[in-house]
């Protein structure tokens, strides 16, 4: 077996040192009636690298890869071009095969990268402090809700109807067990987000209001108005962002009064990968809330010779020390994805991020104008970044299914996201990035015209 260095002679010599007759004797504490003496039946035996590749390639080919289609899916996962440098650097063994940096003297590479990452995220979000990452955007969203409860000591949570439904479901699942009361809603198909309706749901028992920016329909809500209303009631504003590239074009949530900003970082540096692993981002505007934050934090310090260095810090918030009183049970972060994000954002820099965002928006405007010309279809949004909602005169889900046969992946239907709500079934969320060509847009326009005629 190519991954096992021991030879039979090694094994014999080692058993002699140990004083055991054979390897099975080392499992003497396993009750004999439960000890397996042979490989489990009905499972394949070992295989060569070539055979494994062949098997996996066959499975891979049963999928329609985005590159092989006219591709318009978003709704929490976006297809951007990732420079070759990113994937090359994250495969350096010193990053790929390192552990959590618990021994800082020999983990400065990971630690310095995390310190840079935290600063990048804090600046992107307009916040004071960001952590070293969470599992993904949806779990970060729940952690923000839980943190708001710790800060305000309140248990009532108001979710915007235009929050990604997977995120809302994740929060609702967890809240059932923590006895937080969740007030949720459905999105209204209006050109502007329903801020007035959201604000009316905030009361004096509300711990936080959770708003997505841009929202699940692609609209850009006025956060300042919501922040003011929340703060007037002593509630926190939690802002969720699923498309960080947008923050190269639109104002940072922290600037607009968000108290906790969380989101999905996948767009920058991390590929689609059928939904995971992704990258949860988590930041707070007010540094005094740091001790209530979940997850790892990297901080600057000096070594015994006075040289600058970095360590994991404020660990007493965490499970391995605080156990049942920890701020979260989270143990890992999403380190390698954070590295990919940080490298990609370093390659972009401010100039590149702004150019990338502008190019996304330019193409999205072209797409919105083109799809508005499809007979029977209307574009819902007044505002958007790189994603908008088209209302079709048909069940959008069936349309998406049909167009896939012609290698047009038209978008995410609201029927897929909100399966039981008939009023939303005509909605199609269309995302456009720098990877979309004007030909792709025309292909989608024509395909919709054909299927709707």
Stretch that binds another protein, among 45-53, 199-207, 233-241, 441-449 (CB under 8 A): 45-53
When asked if residue 149 is in the footprint of another protein (CB under 8 A), the reply is no
Please, what sign has the CA dihedral across residues 383, 184, 258, 431?
Answer: negative
Q: Give the number of residues in contact with another protein, rule: CB under 8 A.
A: 212
Identity of the residue, 227 or 298, whose beta carbon is nearer to another protein in the bound complex: 298
In the complex, least distance from residue 35 CB atom to another protein, rounded to whole angstroms: 6
In the complex, least distance from residue 210 CB atom to another protein, rounded to whole angstroms: 14
Identity of the residue, 260 or 311, whose beta carbon is nearer to another protein in the bound complex: 311
Please, what sign has the CA dihedral across residues 330, 315, 181, 188?
Answer: negative
Closest CA to 171 of 135, 215, 125, 138: 138
Binding mask 353-392 for another protein (x = CB under 8 A): xxxx-xx-xx--x--x------------xxxxx-------
- Report whether 441 contacts 367 (CB < 8 A): yes
CA distance 34 to 28: 11
C-alpha torsion 214→218→220→223, nearest 10:
-40
Identity of the residue, 204 or 369, whose beta carbon is nearer to another protein in the bound complex: 369
Question: Under rule CB under 8 A, which residues in 301-330 are in contact with another protein?
Answer: 301-305, 307, 309-311, 313-316, 318-326, 328-330
In the complex, least distance from residue 392 CB atom to another protein, rounded to whole angstroms: 16
Question: Under rule CB under 8 A, which residues in 169-188 are in contact with another protein?
Answer: 169-170, 172-174, 176-179
When asked if residue 274 is in the footprint of another protein (CB under 8 A), the reply is yes
Stretch that binds another protein, among 181-189, 229-237, 414-422, 440-448 (CB under 8 A): 414-422
CA distance 266 to 315: 26
When asked if residue 106 is in the footprint of another protein (CB under 8 A), the reply is yes
Question: Under rule CB under 8 A, which residues in 55-74 are in contact with another protein?
Answer: 55-68, 71, 73
In the complex, least distance from residue 237 CB atom to another protein, rounded to whole angstroms: 16
Among 107, 144, 211, 230, contact with another protein (rule: CB under 8 A):
107
When asked if residue 414 is in the footprint of another protein (CB under 8 A), the reply is no
List residues bridging with 369 in a β-sheet.
none
In the complex, least distance from residue 329 CB atom to another protein, rounded to whole angstroms: 4
In the complex, least distance from residue 119 CB atom to another protein, rounded to whole angstroms: 4
When asked if residue 124 is in the footprint of another protein (CB under 8 A), the reply is yes
Ordered DSSP codes for 159-188: E-TTS-HHHHHHHHHHHHHHT-EEE--PPP
- Report whether 188 contacts 180 (CB < 8 A): no
Closest CA to 86 of 96, 101, 98: 96
When asked if residue 422 is in the footprint of another protein (CB under 8 A), the reply is no
In the complex, least distance from residue 449 CB atom to another protein, rounded to whole angstroms: 20
User: String of b and e for 32-54 (b: at least 16 CB within 10 Å)?
Assistant: eeeeeeeeeeeeeeeeeeeeeee
First to last CA, the chain: 60
Among 4, 8, 375, 422, contact with another protein (rule: CB under 8 A):
4
In the complex, least distance from residue 371 CB atom to another protein, rounded to whole angstroms: 14
In the block, residue with structure tokens 């054979």: 22
CA distance 110 to 123: 20
């Amino acid at each position: 077996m190519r991954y096992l260095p021991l030879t039979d002679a090694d094994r014999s010599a080692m058993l002699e040192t140990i004083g055991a007759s054979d390897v099975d004797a080392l499992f003497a504490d396993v009750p004999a009636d439960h000890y397996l003496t042979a490989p489990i039946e009905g499972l394949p035996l070992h295989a060569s690298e070539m055979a494994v590749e062949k098997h996996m390639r066959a499975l891979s080919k049963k999928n329609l890869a985005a590159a092989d289609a006219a591709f318009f899916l978003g709704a929490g996962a976006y297809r951007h071009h990732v420079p070759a440098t990113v994937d090359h650097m994250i495969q350096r063994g010193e990053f790929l095969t390192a552990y959590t940096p618990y021994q800082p003297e020999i983990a400065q590479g990971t630690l310095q990268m995390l310190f840079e990452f935290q600063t990048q995220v804090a600046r992107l979000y307009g916040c004071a402090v960001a952590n070293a990452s969470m599992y993904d955007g949806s779990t970060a969203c729940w952690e923000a809700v839980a943190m708001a409860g710790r800060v305000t000591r309140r248990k009532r949570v108001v979710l915007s109807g235009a929050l990604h439904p997977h995120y809302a479901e994740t929060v609702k699942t967890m809240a059932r067990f923590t006895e937080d009361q969740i007030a949720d809603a459905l999105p209204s198909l209006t050109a502007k987000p329903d801020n007035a309706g959201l604000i009316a749901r905030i009361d004096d028992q509300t711990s936080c209001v959770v708003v997505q920016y841009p929202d699940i329909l692609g609209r850009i809500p006025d956060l300042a108005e919501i922040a003011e209303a929340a703060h007037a009631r002593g509630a926190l504003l939690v802002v969720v962002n699923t498309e960080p590239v947008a923050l190269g074009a639109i104002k940072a949530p922290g600037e607009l009064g968000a108290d906790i900003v969380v989101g999905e970082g996948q767009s920058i540096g991390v590929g689609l990968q059928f939904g995971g692993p992704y990258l949860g981002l988590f930041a707070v505007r007010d540094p005094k809330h740091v001790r209530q934050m979940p997850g790892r934090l990297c901080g600057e310090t000096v070594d015994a010779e006075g040289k600058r260095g970095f360590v994991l810090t404020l660990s007493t918030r965490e499970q391995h020390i605080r156990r049942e009183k920890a701020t979260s049970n989270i143990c890992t972060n999403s380190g390698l994805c954070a590295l990919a994000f940080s490298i990609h954002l370093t390659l972009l820099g401010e100039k590149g991020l702004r150019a990338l965002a502008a190019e996304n928006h330019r193409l999205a405007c072209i797409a919105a104008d083109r799809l508005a010309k499809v007979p029977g279809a209307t574009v819902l949004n007044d505002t958007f970044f790189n994603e908008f909602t088209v209302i079709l005169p048909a069940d959008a889900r069936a349309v998406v299914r049909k167009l896939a046969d012609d290698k047009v992946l038209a978008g995410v239907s609201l029927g897929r996201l909100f399966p039981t709500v008939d009023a939303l079934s005509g909605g199609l969320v269309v995302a456009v990035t720098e990877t979309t060509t004007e030909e792709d847009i025309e292909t989608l326009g024509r395909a919709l015209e054909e299927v709707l005629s």
